[in-house]
Structure formats: structure tokens, C-alpha cells
Amino acid sequence: MMTWAAQRQHNTVEDVDAMAATMADGLKSEFVQLESGSFAAQWDVFRLGTMVVQFGCERLAVARRMRVPDDRWAFVIPLAVPGAARWNGVVIGRGELIVCAPRSEGYAFDPGGTRFVVVSVSPRALPRLADVAISMAGVGQSCVIRPAALDLNALRDELASIEAVGTGSRQSSVDSQHPESARRAARVSGLLLKCLCGESSRSLRTRDNRSAIVGRAEAFFRLHVGEAVSIAQLSAVAEVSERSLRNAFYRVYSVSPKRYLRLWQLHQVHRALRASAQPETTVTGAATDCGFYELGRFAGEYKALFGEAPSQTLHKTRIRHSARGAA
């Protein structure tokens, strides 16, 4: 007789730009590596009927933007937080839980070694949970709540039991519609509801204003990728002083706006070099397209961040595409 096992997909990610494609259930994310070194992450996806449970852990500190699709609710539960993690500028630890409404977008800072779970569900599948969540987060918004420790620990224990089912196998072939999958999903939903409705649960700030400042600044430099964008320009677009702009970026991403912009531009070059194996693609072209004109300095910063020269990234991309073509 076949025993139950959650339908699981295990991913070992060794490139920060591969993280976005690893997330499941329509969740859209962009990751920016904030520390130098070789990136490494684990991402496990469990499908329990209409519920999807995703376990993530990143070795290095990252800034992360996550958008929830129109037809899902997402709940983020921290498991291990070695430093002061943040969500929309609100400091979070193991005692908090993040509620994300459909169409909401959040700005996160994860210190290196952070482990967390993302549980996503359909509002139609769990209407009571969705009704309670909307009363706390609001339409298209997210919020951080602090549930009773007993309720949150019970939720973590249930999630840990789901994770333990898949230990030792890369992927299970058991149908996610198995009756035990539905029972597990119901238990997780009930515990989430208890965390939200507990007498001692309280909601922290829904959205720190500093995340809105960061969002306006980001939207501007995304439209001016290849240009020399100054901090004065960003502060004018964000409608705040340069000091307030710096404070906002430190609060949301734990880095200065100048440093974040530089890292973000390096990631754009990295993505361009990983995406194209065309003969006309060059490191110089990709770098200048993203606003880098001092190529020696650029190459040094790129290698320090990603652990390899930009020419090596392009060479690997061409080898990968050649292998696919041969296959």
C-alpha cells in the first residue's frame, strides 16, 4: 500500500538570478545579492491540493521584492532569522508572521542564513481565512502581525512535519490530491486562522512609509537603466530630502541608495550575460547598456560580487546554450 508523501520539488540554486524562476504558484520575485561571494540557496516546494508551501533559505544577504498574483493569498512565516530581517521597512523576527493580500507587493531584506516558509492559497478555497486576512491587511496590501507564541509555534511544528515528509528525496511522484494532502492543508489553514484571530495577536504597521519612498526611487532608476542617476535625482523623484532617502533605503534594504543602485545595475549586466549566447553579445556592450563606462572598475566590482569575471559568465552561457543545441 502506498504511503502518503507530499508532492515535493527540491531546488538547489547557485545563481541569484535563478531564484525568480524557482518560486512557484505565481509568486513573482526579484532578488538582489547584497554580499560578495558565491550565492547558494535551497528552495523546496510542496503542493497540498490547492495550497502550496515553499521553504526557502539563502546563504547570503539579499534584498527581495515579492508580488502576489491576483488570485492568491500568501503568508510568510520566518523559521530562522540570524539578524534584523525586514518587510516593508518593519523589523521582523521569529515572532512575526507576514500577511500578503492578492496583488500586494512587498520589499524584504533577508540577512544571510534566513529561513522562511511561504504558504499560498486561493481565496475561493479558504473563504474564512481570506475574510480574516483582508480585514487585517486590506485590499492589495500586506501587514506584519505578532501572533501568540503558542499558536505560531504550533504552525511551525505542522510545517516542519510537512518538510520532513520530503526529506531524502528530490521529488515525490505521489498525487497532491491525496486525501492526506487535503488534511494537511486544512490543518495549516486552521493554524493560520488561529494565529490571525488569537486574543493576543496584534497587527504591526501595515506599510512603513519608507518602503513607498524606496518604491518611487526604484521605479525611476528602472526606467533609466543605462543613465548616470544621481542621489539628488532620486530624492527629487521620491519627494523627500537626500537624508530621508538614505534613511529609507537603510530601513528597507539595510544599504544606502547609492550602493543598492550599483548592485542592482551589476545584476542587470549579470542577467544580460546569462540570458544571451548570441555572437554579438559582448561584456562591453552589456556593461555600457547598464550604465557602466569605467570598464576596469566595473569588472572588479562584478567579480567581487558574483565570484567570477563577466567574461566567465558569458562563456558559461555560451557553453550551456551549445549543450542544449547539441541535445
Question: By percentage, how much of the chain surpasses pLDDT 90?
Answer: 65
CA–CA distance from 173 to each of 6, 8, 169 (Å)? 9, 8, 10
pLDDT of residue 209: 83
Q: Give me the mean pLDDT over the 150-154 stretch.
A: 95
| CA angle (215 as vertex; 214, 218 as ends), nearest 5 | 85
Decide if pLDDT at 177 tops 80.
no
Cβ burial, residue 39 (10 Å; 0-12/13-18/19+):
buried
pLDDT of residue 79: 95
Question: By percentage, how much of the chain surpasses pLDDT 70?
Answer: 89
pLDDT of residue 324: 63
Cα four-point dihedral sign 172, 188, 178, 120 = negative
Q: Which residue has the cell 547598464?
A: 290
pLDDT of residue 182: 86
Residue 65 pairs in a beta bridge with: 30, 107
What does the mean pLDDT of the chain come to?
87
Helical H segments across the chain, by residue range? 19-22, 127-137, 149-165, 179-197, 209-222, 231-238, 242-253, 257-275, 283-289, 295-306, 310-326
Closest CA to 42 of 153, 120, 116: 116
Under the banding of pLDDT at 50, 70 and 90, the label for residue 203 is low
pLDDT of residue 121: 94
Under DSSP, the state recorded for 171 is B
Cα gap 153→94, rounded to integer Å: 10
pLDDT of residue 2: 40
Residue 42 pairs in a beta bridge with: 12, 57
Buried residues in 257-266 as b, exposed as e (16+ CB within 10 A): beebbbbbbb
2 or 111: which leads in pLDDT? 111
pLDDT of residue 120: 96
Q: Give me the mean pLDDT over the 82-98 stretch.
A: 92
275 or 305: which leads in pLDDT? 305
C-alpha cell at 159: 510545517
pLDDT of residue 172: 45
CB atoms within 10 A of CB 115: 17
Question: DSSP 3-state assignment of 46?
Answer: strand
Closest CA to 65 of 35, 38, 86, 43: 86
Does the domain at 209-326 match CATH 1.10.10.60? Answer given as yes
pTM: 0.88
Cα four-point dihedral sign 55, 45, 33, 74 = negative
Decide if pLDDT at 173 tops 50.
no
Q: Give me the mean pLDDT over the 148-176 stretch.
A: 76
Domain ranges of the chain: 7-203, 209-326
For 102-143, the pLDDT digits (tens) are: 999 999 999 999 999 999 999 888 888 888 888 887 778 888
Q: Give me the mean pLDDT over the 255-280 stretch.
A: 89
Decide if pLDDT at 93 tops 70.
yes
Q: Give me the mean pLDDT over the 164-193 stretch.
A: 73
323 alpha-carbon distance from chain centroid: 30
For 4-25, the pLDDT digits (tens) are: 556 788 899 998 888 988 999 9
Q: Which residue has the cell 504558504?
A: 119
**Element holding 144 (H helix, E strand):** strand 142-146
Q: Give me the mean pLDDT over the 149-153 stretch.
A: 95
Q: Which CATH superfamily is domain 7-203 in?
A: Jelly Rolls (2.60.120.10)
Buried residues in 288-301 as b, exposed as e (16+ CB within 10 A): eebbbeeeeebbeb
Give yes or no on whether 7-203 and 209-326 have one common fold: no
The Cα diameter of the chain in Å comes to: 67
